């Protein structure tokens, strides 16, 4: 029985005065086999239909509660009362949105029965397709937009037109030049005809050579050659110019798009792979356009023109000459299929090789420290060998291809010779015509040989284009609002309302509620994996929440333009990243227009001024890719100065002091105290001592907030925080060799 049948069956059981409040499909049965089922909530009862068509029902009454829990993508919905579990259903996460609505409706109904009042229905705009609440200011539902990603079509190369359009005029000029250049290259073989028939053959038959005719024809040959040279140069130059620009646009657009994608995307991609896509793939497309496609177009034009000329001279001989053409075309098609998968595989394997490099070179200290150089070499060799194996397979087919085309060429020539001699013998054609045919087809067939190359390069370029469009087609999961709202001034109050977040099928956060006053400092505490960093990432809008919403000064952050919103946020991370450049540039990263005085002031406040002055070029000293010349504490102070300079209203510190020793921490602490002043601060710290200044501590455990309060209150509770604190002080005592404090 299908979902719809079950739904109809349940709905048919409702009495006229009963209204249907919510419904959901359950796509798993009790034993976790895929089977349709349906849950329907009416104003009086909860009805459940299973795959067999069996219907059970529970009347809505006070004390009932629906609970959900999920594990590995399977959600269990349980109906509970005071005595225990009454029923349960399983479903996959796809149905979760419906389920939550059902749960909300059920809870509201029960509450209504208990208190006798209908709760206020929250005014929400729902997406028509997935029934998910929509965010004000957005026209497209974020959940649906995510699901609508379609695989790119195979005609990816045509999509490059988007990048070629700005250069239409030059492309047209290039095409006309190509046409003209090709036409001129076809003149010389044509002139062999009169040269044979009107000059050489008459001479052999005893007539004198006509000087004027010779001058005329040879002059014609020279002019044709010169014109072909000049036009060929012009067309190649213009088209190379255009293709280089297309390639550059493609690269920049891709990089620009990449910068706009959310952290979620980068989390799932390897650096080497992305680098290869933007760097070498776009270059490959560029070479394809400027070289191979141009050659191919020239060849096609040449074949068409030659065919026309040949037919105009002698249709029968032309027919014989062109006979091998469809045969070769078929072969090209056949090999194309064989090679396509091969080349895609080559690309993937090549990205693997680069990825190995990108993984190990930044981590070289770890590799050396654990003496794993041999293993890394082995890993590289393995990737490289895979590359070799894949290439070998492709090359086997590929290498067979060219000799076969050559063979066909020779056979074709043989046929033309044979048929031509027969025609000459029957006085159908002159010797000159045969000579012209042979001259034409010599060019013609050698072009076929090079044309066959287009098979592989088109495939390579197409797979390159596909990989680039993969990036371009990826819609940011942190979409810009269509009707953005703007915040003139930010006070800094943050309100987190029933926030849930799922990463893949794993629920990281659920039902997080927290109100933060402007200027308040919140310390986030909890075991690793309790969801602290995720919560902070959601506040920064590196990801978007799955459920609920985050509001800043009462405005949903999803309705603010992303970059405008992030300007109000200062971020200090555990591992401060310094870009290649001077210290001054690094401090001014968030505000490149900052004056030198402002930079110095920020550095002073971050306690970085003095150590910077001790460097050889002061603020103009270079720091490397990861600021290798500076210590952890120094780098951290530079990143604090960076945050201070943009003067954000909201400050986020993610384990800002965990990477440094206690002494450095004290040094940084002074800088941090300067930073925190007057800002809403959310600090994550593993070391609880760092959070002594926090107004409130928020203890998180397995994706939920379990305790809120200041240090003393939480200690008095003797629960989660107490245990965390005990564990740390005990550790410390053990390190210091003190006897454990007896409680």
Partner 1 sequence: MQTLQLERNAFGQLVFTDASGEAHTGVVPVRAFAITAPDQGLALMSPEGHELLWIDTLAALPETMARLLQEELEQREFMPEIRAIRHVSSFATPSTWEVDTDRGPTRLVLKGEEDIRRLGPNALIIADHHGLQYLIRDRQALNHQSRKFLMRFL
Instruction: Output the smallest distance, CB 588 to partner 1, in A.
Output: 12
End-to-end CA distance of the chain: 63
At which residue do the structure tokens 């009462």 appear? 554
Any idea what the Cα angle at residue 325 is, between residues 323 and 326, rounded to 5°? 95
**Residues at the site binding partner 1, with contacts judged by CB under 8 A:** 582, 584, 596-597, 600, 609-614, 616-620, 622
- Cβ proximity to partner 1: between 571 and 641 the closer is 641
Cα–Cα distance, 256 to 260 (Å, whole number): 7
- Cβ proximity to partner 1: between 39 and 584 the closer is 584
- Cβ proximity to partner 1: between 455 and 583 the closer is 583
Instruction: Output the smallest distance, CB 249 to partner 1, in A.
Output: 24
Instruction: Output the smallest distance, CB 609 to partner 1, in A.
Output: 7
Instruction: Output the smallest distance, CB 618 to partner 1, in A.
Output: 4
- Cβ proximity to partner 1: between 157 and 588 the closer is 588
Instruction: Output the smallest distance, CB 579 to partner 1, in A.
Output: 14
Q: Which H helix or E strand runs over 255?
A: helix 211-260
Instruction: Output the smallest distance, CB 354 to partner 1, in A.
Output: 21
At which residue do the structure tokens 């349940």 appear? 10
- Cβ proximity to partner 1: between 447 and 607 the closer is 607
Instruction: Output the smallest distance, CB 198 to partner 1, in A.
Output: 56
Report the candidate in 66, 73, 59, 82 with the shortest Cα–Cα distance to residue 24. Answer: 66
Tell the burial category of 396 from Cβ atoms under 10 Å away from its Cβ (0-12, 13-18, 19+).
exposed
Instruction: Output the smallest distance, CB 620 to partner 1, in A.
Output: 4
- Cβ proximity to partner 1: between 617 and 730 the closer is 617
At which residue do the structure tokens 């942190």 appear? 478
Instruction: Output the smallest distance, CB 133 to partner 1, in A.
Output: 51
Cα–Cα distance, 314 to 310 (Å, whole number): 6
Report the candidate in 162, 169, 325, 311 with the shortest Cα–Cα distance to residue 239. Answer: 169
* 3-class DSSP state of 516: strand
Instruction: Output the smallest distance, CB 595 to partner 1, in A.
Output: 10
Instruction: Output the smallest distance, CB 294 to partner 1, in A.
Output: 30
Q: CB neighbours (10 Å) of residue 675?
A: 24
Tell the burial category of 281 from Cβ atoms under 10 Å away from its Cβ (0-12, 13-18, 19+).
buried
Instruction: Output the smallest distance, CB 594 to partner 1, in A.
Output: 13
Cα–Cα distance, 254 to 718 (Å, whole number): 54
- Cβ proximity to partner 1: between 380 and 611 the closer is 611
- Cβ proximity to partner 1: between 612 and 684 the closer is 612
Q: Measure Cα distances from 707 to 41, 68, 720 in Å.
A: 34, 22, 7
- Cβ proximity to partner 1: between 194 and 618 the closer is 618
- Cβ proximity to partner 1: between 226 and 613 the closer is 613
- Cβ proximity to partner 1: between 614 and 692 the closer is 614
Q: What is the DSSP string of 416-471?
A: HHHHHHHHHHTTSS-HHHHHHHHHHHHHHHHHHHHHHHHHHHHHHHHHHHHHHHHH
At which residue do the structure tokens 């409706």 appear? 105
Report the candidate in 700, 362, 294, 691 with the shortest Cα–Cα distance to residue 521. Answer: 691
For the beta sheet containing 521-526, the strands, ordered from the edge strand earlier in sequence to the opposite edge, are 569-572, 650-654, 680-684, 521-526, 696-701, 704-709
- Cβ proximity to partner 1: between 489 and 614 the closer is 614
Residues in CB range of 146: below 8 A, 6 or more apart? 475, 477
Instruction: Output the smallest distance, CB 584 to partner 1, in A.
Output: 7
* 3-class DSSP state of 269: coil
* 3-class DSSP state of 37: coil
Residues in CB range of 484: below 8 A, 6 or more apart? 137, 559, 560, 561, 564
Tell the burial category of 2 from Cβ atoms under 10 Å away from its Cβ (0-12, 13-18, 19+).
exposed
* 3-class DSSP state of 509: strand
- Cβ proximity to partner 1: between 91 and 619 the closer is 619
- Cβ proximity to partner 1: between 600 and 714 the closer is 600
Instruction: Output the smallest distance, CB 264 to partner 1, in A.
Output: 34
């Amino acid at each position: 029985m299908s979902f719809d049948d079950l739904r109809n069956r349940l709905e048919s059981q409702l009495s006229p005065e009963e209204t249907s409040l919510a419904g959901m499909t359950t796509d798993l049965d009790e034993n976790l086999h895929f089977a349709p089922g349906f849950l329907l909530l009416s104003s009086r009862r909860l009805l459940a239909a299973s795959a067999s068509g069996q219907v059970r029902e529970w009347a809505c009454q006070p004390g009932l509660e629906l609970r959900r829990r999920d594990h590995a993508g399977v959600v269990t919905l349980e109906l509970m009362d005071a005595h225990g579990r009454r029923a349960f259903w399983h479903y996959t996460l796809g149905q979760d949105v419906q389920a939550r609505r059902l749960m909300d409706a059920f809870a509201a109904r029960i509450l209504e029965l208990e208190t006798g009042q209908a709760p206020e229905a929250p005014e929400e705009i729902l997406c028509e397709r997935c029934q998910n609440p929509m965010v004000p200011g957005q026209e497209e539902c974020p959940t649906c937009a995510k699901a609508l990603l379609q695989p790119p079509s195979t005609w990816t190369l045509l999509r490059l037109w988007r990048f070629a359009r700005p250069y239409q005029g030059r492309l047209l000029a290039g095409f006309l030049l190509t046409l003209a250049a090709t036409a001129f290259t076809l003149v010389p073989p044509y002139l062999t005809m009169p040269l044979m028939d009107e000059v050489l053959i008459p001479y052999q038959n005893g007539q004198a050579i006509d000087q004027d005719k010779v001058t005329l024809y040879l002059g014609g040959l020279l002019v044709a050659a010169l014109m072909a040279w000049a036009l060929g140069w012009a067309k190649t130059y213009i088209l190379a110019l255009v293709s280089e620009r297309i390639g550059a646009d493609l690269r920049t657009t891709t990089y620009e798009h990449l910068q706009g994608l959310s952290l979620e995307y980068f989390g799932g991609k390897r650096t080497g792979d992305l680098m290869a896509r933007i760097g070498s793939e776009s270059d490959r497309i560029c070479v394809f356009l400027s070289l191979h496609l141009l050659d191919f177009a020239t060849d096609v034009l040449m074949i068409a023109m030659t065919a026309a000329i040949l037919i105009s001279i002698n249709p029968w001989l032309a027919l014989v000459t062109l006979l091998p053409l469809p045969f070769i075309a078929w072969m090209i098609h056949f090999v194309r299929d064989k090679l396509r998968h091969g080349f895609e595989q080559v690309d993937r394997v090549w990205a693997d090789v680069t990825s190995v490099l990108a993984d190990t070179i930044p981590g070289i200290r770890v590799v050396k420290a654990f003496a794993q150089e041999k293993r890394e070499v082995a890993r590289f060799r393995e990737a490289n060998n895979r590359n070799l194996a894949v290439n070998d397979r492709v090359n086997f087919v590929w290498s067979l291809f060219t000799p076969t085309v050559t063979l066909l060429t020779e056979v074709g020539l043989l046929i033309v010779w044979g048929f031509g001699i027969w025609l000459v013998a029957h006085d159908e054609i002159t010797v000159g015509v045969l000579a012209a045919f042979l001259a034409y087809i010599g060019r013609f067939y050698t072009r076929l040989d090079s044309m066959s190359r287009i098979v592989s390069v088109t495939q390579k370029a197409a797979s390159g284009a596909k990989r680039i469009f993969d990036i371009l087609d990826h819609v940011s999961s942190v979409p810009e609002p269509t009707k953005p709202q703007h915040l003139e001034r930010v006070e800094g109050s943050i309100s987190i309302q029933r926030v849930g977040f799922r990463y893949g099928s794993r629920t990281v956060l659920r039902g997080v509620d927290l109100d933060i006053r402007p200027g308040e400092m919140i310390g986030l505490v909890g075991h690793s994996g309790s969801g602290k960093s995720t919560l902070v990432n959601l506040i920064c809008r590196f990801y978007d929440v799955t459920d609920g919403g985050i509001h800043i000064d009462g405005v949903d952050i999803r309705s603010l333009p992303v970059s405008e919103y992030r300007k109000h946020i200062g971020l200090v991370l555990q591992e401060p990243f310094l870009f290649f450049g001077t210290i001054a540039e690094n401090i001014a990263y968030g505000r490149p227009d900052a004056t030198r005085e402002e930079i110095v002031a920020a550095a002073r406040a971050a306690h970085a001024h003095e150590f910077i002055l001790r460097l050889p070029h002061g603020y103009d000293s270079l720091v490397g890719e990861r600021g290798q010349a500076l210590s952890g504490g120094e780098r951290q102070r530079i990143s604090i100065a960076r945050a201070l300079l943009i003067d954000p209203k909201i400050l986020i510190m993610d384990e800002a002091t965990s990477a440094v020793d206690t002494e450095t921490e004290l040094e940084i602490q002074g800088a941090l105290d300067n930073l925190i002043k007057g800002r809403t601060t959310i600090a994550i710290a593993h070391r609880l001592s760092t959070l002594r200044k926090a107004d409130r501590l928020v203890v998180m455990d397995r994706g939920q907030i379990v305790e809120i309060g200041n240090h003393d209150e939480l200690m008095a509770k003797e629960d989660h925080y107490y245990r965390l604190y005990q564990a740390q002080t005990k550790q410390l005592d053990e390190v210091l060799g003190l006897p454990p404090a007896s409680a």
